[in-house]
């Protein structure tokens, strides 16, 4: 080996050096430059949990590859970073360890920023903010007031999880098996008056606009489509018999009015006004309803719970058959939030209704049969797709064969003509409840005045800052029991009044941060010129777990910002392209506390299945998404200090395709480091070479180089970073074995550095400089592949016999089909297989394959 003894790849020195150089040149500062096209790359900003983990490294490296690649393509790039800093963990930490959520949060941010910076991400740190900065949430309060005035905010009652021992509202994740996570008390459903955003005003628009999001994954659009849940159905009222006063009618909504003649019962939600009315005077009803309210507030809990009903004794008349009286049940699986909170049951064609009917001995008359069968329903409901043709026995037009869809429309038309209800379009999407009875969130800028009622704060008084003097030694919302903070003046009449103590859902914070990044220090939520230039986000990158809520709320919020004048009309769909990366998974380690509840432990605190500190054995739960609450997070800091940031970046981008989950393993990090060290050594060797005389090997190397440019470029464009890396490996193999002249190898090495720069920017920068590249590789234009160098003269055509590969032939790339056929038929394997017969069929796919069918 000719390399000098001191020549060694030392990332620590290289990385610090180039990060300093980038900072000095302000390479990553986003500049509004009307002369250049802009590109806005955004990764979902992190929650400051305390330390970065491999999921962050993977997520932010992906964005960085895109940002650096686009910069090389000549775009003016905006690539910012901030912190989704409000939320429960800060309050939990305050309760567990003492201290203040603010100190905990800002402390975590400082640590994580320090951990992130050595990664060498091309971020414009001058735009950084945290959502818990008063400068940020004050602007959010201003928008809340604007939205209130625009009719997009209102108050109504909604149910929450109530812990009767701790006297506090619980989040769904704090309810475990129906019990409070701290107190262990049975959780109750309780109604509170809460603030709501009118996202339902936009149901139809949010649904229709999904079609325009062509650069979003189809699965995300489908999930949102189903979540919004448009349905067409019939709404009508049953008239009641023996019902309490004011309940002479029960409104129901059904998507299957074609089954109205197969109805055998009516059921209402336990939260339905009728149930509430009966509950007041009937102990049995009260007991049943109370029982229903023990089921959690989640749809999942409701769906999984055993289906139960209570016969109220009330009857309704069938709208088309006065003789027929149907029982009215209160049923635990009916949602008050959907439709009218009341349904009719057609057991023959709905499994849940059938189970219910069988349980309570109700009939289940068939409405239609399959075309080829006429067996009455017994234990399995007959629920064919609505597009399938079936034979109606109890349709509105007698015995008729039609699809469910046709029958539904016909039924609606018939019912309307008879004056029984009307066809309506409904959505599953519910309004967005934003009230949280918690401290660490954006205060809702509202004042409750005895004379004026509910009054928005004056904008001049914003931001309404959270008070610092709070304690977390007792459960509940510290704002609610604060002695002075709640006292304020009514902005309307000047009388003394009480401040709203609810804070905002943290989803509000993350619904507009992308817009704030365009002018993070502005005295208004956004600045028109900046928003006009930078919006929309050209590429948004984040986890699939945000497919519905965060992304749907952001889409709504952008529209609300358009309506209130904070964003241009063109920004109502804020994310032009979306990429959902897979999650980084890891095993979970738990022990139990004295009450049997799970305590989670960090991987770094566990060794050989035992806690390092106490030796207590831990339970190992199979890999799951890395999450701060489960503490199954891996610390990348160790990898970076041992091998450098480029190794960490290279490793997380290689192997797994970015959209798929990856299980963290330390095995590959060493290998990634060795590879980068080999590349560095190769560059040293090439740098020492003489220029030399051109040879045929030069042409081969240049062909390989242009192929690499074309392949890597395409792979990065397609978000196939693992393939880009595989192609870089292949080019490395070619280059390191090349016998081309020094001049050619130097050229190839410089291009190699450019191609790997998005993934390993520090190493690329070092090689670029060593090979005499001009300026910084971070600012060099992306290389272009010469199409002439990609053309191949001869190709290998595989020959299949009956679809199985049996042979191959070398042919000129542009050989005529007839010639290929002749050559194929002359091939030994083909001659042997044909045994003198003619082939049944001969398929030649030019440039791809030949298939001989015998």
Report DSSP letters for 715-777, one per residue. Answer: HHHTT-HHHHHHHHHHHHHHHHH----HHHHHHHHHHHHHHHTTTSHHHHHHHHHHTT-SS-G
Residue for token digits 């914070």?
509
Piece of the chain touching RNA by CB under 7 A; list 242-250, 278-286, 604-612, 652-660 = 652-660
For residue 120, how many other CB atoms are within 10 A of its CB? 25
State which of residues 677, 687, 789, 815 lies at the interface with RNA (CB under 7 A). Answer: 677
Which DSSP string do the residues of 508-539 spell out, in sequence order? HHTTSHHHHTTSTT-SSS--HHHHHHH-SBSE
Task: Tell me how far apart the alpha carbons of residues 658 and 676 are, in angstroms, rounded to a whole number.
Answer: 21
Minimum CB distance to RNA smaller for 223 or for 286: 223
CB of 546 to RNA, least distance (A): 6
Tokens of 699: 């042409």
Q: CB-based contacts of 757: which residues, under 8 Å, 6+ apart?
A: 68, 72, 764, 765, 768, 777, 778
The reply to whether 483 sits near RNA by the rule CB under 7 A is: no
Q: DSSP H helical segments within 418-548, as ranges?
A: 506-509, 513-516, 528-534
Q: Does 697 bind RNA (CB under 7 A)?
A: no
Query: Angle between the 761-770 and 645-653 helix axes, to the nearest 10 degrees?
Result: 120
Among 235, 264, 435, 554, the residue binding RNA under the rule CB under 7 A is: 435
Binding of RNA by 547 (CB under 7 A): yes
CB-based contact 673:647 (threshold 8 Å): yes
**Which range of residues in 180-188, 275-283, 818-826, 844-852 is near RNA by CB under 7 A?**
844-852
Q: Which of 56, 394, 436, 563 binds RNA (CB under 7 A)?
A: 436
Kindly state whether residue 354 participates in binding RNA, applying the rule CB under 7 A.
no
Which residues ranging from 42 to 71 are in contact with RNA (CB under 7 A)? 47
Q: Interface with RNA by CB under 7 A: which range of 34-42, 431-439, 465-473, 602-610?
A: 431-439
76 binds RNA (CB under 7 A): no
Q: Which of 308, 601, 675, 750 binds RNA (CB under 7 A)?
A: 675
Quote the strand ranges of 101-248, DSSP E.
153-163, 168-170, 175-176, 179-180, 188-197, 230-241
Interaction residues for RNA, span 773-812 (CB under 7 A): 796, 798, 800, 802-805, 808
Among 17, 430, 492, 528, binds RNA (CB under 7 A): 430
The tokens for 42 are 């955004």
- Enumerate residues 6+ apart whose C-beta is below 8 A from 828: 807
Whole-number Å distance between alpha carbons of 349 and 368 = 9
Residues of this chain, 81-120, that bind RNA according to CB under 7 A: 84, 86-89
Q: Is there binding between residue 833 and RNA (CB under 7 A)?
A: no
Query: Which CB atom, from 771 or from 851, has the smaller least distance to RNA?
Result: 851
Distance CA 795, CA 798 (A): 10
Phi, psi of 477 (to 5 degrees): -90, 115
Judged by CB under 7 A, does residue 33 bind RNA? Answer: no
Smaller CB distance to RNA: residue 532 or 808?
A: 808
Q: Which is nearer to RNA, 522 or 548 (CB)?
A: 548
Q: Which of residues 142-181 bind RNA (CB under 7 A)?
A: 158, 160-161, 169-174
Rounded CA-CA distance 588/634 in Å is 11
- Gap between the Cα atoms of 23 and 20, Å rounded: 5
- Shortest spacing between CB 853 and RNA, in angstroms: 4
Do the strands 265-268 and 309-318 form a parallel or antiparallel pair, or are they unpaired?
unpaired
- Among 150, 726, 769, 811, indicate the residue that binds RNA (CB under 7 A): 726
Smallest distance from RNA to CB 454, Å: 17
Question: In terms of CB distance, is 38 or 675 closer to RNA?
Answer: 675
Name which position in 283, 667, 693, 838 contacts RNA (CB under 7 A): 667
428 binds RNA (CB under 7 A): yes
**Looking at 59, 61, 141, 194, which residue binds RNA (CB under 7 A)?**
194
Residue among 249 and 304 whose Cβ is closer to RNA: 304
DSSP code of residue 833: H
Asked if 218 is part of the footprint of RNA (rule: CB under 7 A), the reply reads: yes
CB of 436 to RNA, least distance (A): 5
CB 724 within 8 A of CB 730: no
Residues 550 to 569 in contact with RNA, rule: CB under 7 A: 550
Q: Does 339 bind RNA (CB under 7 A)?
A: no
Query: Can residue 652 be called a binding residue for RNA (CB under 7 A)?
Result: no
Joined together, the tokens standing for residue 688 give 């020492």
Taking a C-beta distance cutoff of 8 angstroms, is the pair 420, 106 a contact?
no
Q: Which of 39, 329, 432, 556 binds RNA (CB under 7 A)?
A: 432
Q: Does residue 629 belong to the site contacting RNA (CB under 7 A)?
A: yes
Does residue number 622 form part of the binding site for RNA (CB under 7 A)? yes
| Binding of residue 75 to RNA (CB under 7 A) | no
Binding segment for RNA (CB under 7 A), chosen from 268-276, 280-288, 403-411, 668-676, is 668-676
Report yes or no: 370 and 391 within 8 Å, Cβ to Cβ: yes
Of residues 587 through 606, those in contact with RNA by CB under 7 A are: none
Distance CA(179)–CA(187), nearest Å, equals 5
For the chain, the C-alpha Rg in angstroms (whole number) is 33
H helices of 188-332, in order, are 203-208, 218-228, 273-281, 283-292, 299-304
CB nearer RNA, residue 290 or residue 853: 853
- The piece of 281-289, 472-480, 670-678, 782-790 that touches RNA (CB under 7 A) is 670-678
- Binding residue for RNA, selected from 281, 737, 818, 836, defined by CB under 7 A: 737
* Candidate residues 505, 530, 765, 827; the one interacting with RNA per rule CB under 7 A: 505
The footprint of RNA on residues 222-241 (CB under 7 A) is 222-223, 226-227, 229
Q: Say whether residue 506 binds RNA (CB under 7 A).
A: yes
């Amino acid at each position: 080996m000719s390399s000098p003894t001191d020549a060694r790849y030392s990332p620590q020195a290289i990385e610090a050096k180039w990060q300093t150089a980038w900072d000095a040149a302000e390479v990553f500062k986003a500049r509004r430059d009307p002369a250049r096209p802009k590109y806005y790359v955004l990764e979902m900003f992190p929650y400051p949990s305390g330390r970065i983990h491999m999921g962050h490294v993977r997520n932010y490296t992906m964005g960085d590859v895109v940002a650096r690649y686009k910069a090389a393509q000549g775009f003016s790039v905006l690539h910012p970073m901030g912190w989704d800093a409000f939320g429960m963990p800060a309050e939990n930490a305050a309760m567990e360890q003492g201290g203040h959520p603010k100190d905990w949060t800002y402390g975590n941010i400082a640590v994580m920023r320090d951990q992130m910076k050595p990664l060498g991400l091309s971020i414009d740190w001058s735009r950084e903010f945290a959502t818990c900065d008063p400068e940020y949430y004050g602007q959010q309060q201003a928008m809340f007031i604007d939205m209130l005035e625009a009719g997009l905010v209102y108050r109504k009652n909604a149910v929450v999880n109530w812990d009767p021992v701790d006297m506090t509202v619980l989040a769904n994740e704090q309810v475990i098996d129906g019990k409070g996570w701290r107190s262990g008390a049975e959780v109750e459903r309780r109604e509170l008056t809460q603030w709501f955003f009118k996202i339902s005003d936009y149901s139809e628009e949010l649904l229709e606009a999904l079609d325009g999001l062509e650069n979003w994954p189809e699965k995300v659009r489908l999930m949102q489509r189903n979540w919004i849940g448009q349905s067409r159905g019939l709404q009508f009222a049953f008239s009641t018999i023996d019902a309490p006063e004011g309940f002479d009618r029960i409104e129901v909504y059904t998507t299957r009015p074609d089954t109205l003649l197969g109805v055998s019962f009516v059921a209402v939600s336990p939260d339905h006004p009728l149930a509430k009315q009966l509950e007041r005077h009937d102990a049995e009803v009260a007991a049943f309803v109370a029982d229903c309210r023990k089921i959690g507030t989640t749809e999942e809990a409701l769906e999984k719970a055993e289906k139960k009903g209570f016969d109220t004794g009330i009857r309704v008349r069938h709208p088309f058959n006065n003789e027929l009286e149907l029982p009215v049940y209160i049923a635990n699986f009916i949602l008050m939030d959907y439709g009218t909170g009341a349904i009719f049951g057609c057991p023959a064609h709905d499994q849940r209704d059938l189970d219910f009917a069988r349980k309570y001995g109700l009939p289940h008359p068939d409405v239609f049969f399959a075309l080829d069968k006429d067996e009455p329903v017994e234990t399995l409901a007959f629920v064919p797709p609505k597009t399938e043709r079936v034979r109606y026995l109890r349709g509105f037009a007698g015995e008729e064969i039609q699809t469910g869809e046709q029958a539904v429309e016909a039924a609606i038309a018939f019912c309307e003509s008879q004056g029984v209800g009307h066809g309506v379009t409904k959505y599953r999407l519910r309004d967005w409840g934003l009230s949280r009875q918690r401290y660490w969130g954006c205060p809702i800028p509202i004042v409750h005045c005895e004379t004026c009622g509910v009054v928005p704060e004056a904008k001049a008084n914003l931001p309404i800052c959270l008070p610092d003097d709070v304690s977390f030694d007792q459960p509940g919302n510290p704002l609610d029991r604060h002695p002075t903070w709640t006292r304020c003046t009514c902005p309307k009449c000047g009388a003394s009044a009480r401040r709203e103590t609810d804070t905002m859902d943290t989803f509000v914070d993350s619904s507009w941060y992308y817009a704030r990044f365009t002018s993070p220090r502005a005295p208004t939520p956004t600045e028109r010129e900046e928003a006009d230039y930078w919006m929309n986000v050209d590429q948004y990158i984040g986890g699939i777990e945000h497919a519905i809520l965060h992304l749907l709320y952001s889409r709504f919020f952008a529209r609300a910002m358009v309506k209130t004048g904070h964003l241009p009309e063109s920004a109502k769909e804020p994310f032009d392209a979306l990429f959902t990366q897979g999650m980084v998974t890891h095993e979970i380690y738990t022990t139990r506390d004295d009450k049997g509840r799970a305590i989670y432990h960090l991987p770094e605190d566990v060794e050989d299945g035992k806690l390092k500190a106490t030796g207590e054995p831990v339970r190992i739960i199979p890999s799951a998404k890395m999450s701060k609450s489960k503490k199954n997070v891996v610390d990348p800091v160790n990898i970076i200090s041992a091998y450098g940031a480029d190794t960490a970046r290279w490793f997380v981008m290689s192997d797994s395709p970015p959209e798929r989950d990856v299980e963290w393993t330390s095995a590959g990090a060493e290998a990634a480091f060795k590879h980068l060290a080999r590349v560095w050594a190769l560059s040293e060797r090439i740098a020492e070479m003489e220029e030399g005389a051109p040879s045929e090997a030069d042409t081969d190397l240049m062909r390989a180089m242009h192929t690499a440019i074309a392949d890597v470029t395409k792979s990065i464009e397609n978000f196939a970073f693992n393939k880009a890396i595989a192609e870089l490996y292949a080019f490395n193999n070619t280059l390191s074995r090349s016998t081309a002249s020094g001049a050619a190898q130097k050229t190839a090495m410089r291009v190699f550095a450019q191609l790997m720069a998005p993934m390993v920017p520090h190493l690329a920068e070092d090689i670029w400089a060593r090979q005499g590249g001009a300026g910084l590789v971070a600012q060099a234009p992306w290389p272009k592949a010469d199409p002439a160098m990609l053309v191949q003269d001869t190709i290998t055509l595989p020959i299949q016999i009956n679809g199985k590969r049996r042979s191959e032939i070398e042919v000129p790339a542009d050989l005529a089909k007839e010639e290929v056929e002749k050559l194929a038929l002359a091939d030994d394997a083909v001659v042997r297989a044909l045994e003198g017969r003619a082939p049944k069929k001969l398929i030649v796919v030019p440039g791809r394959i030949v298939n001989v069918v015998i």
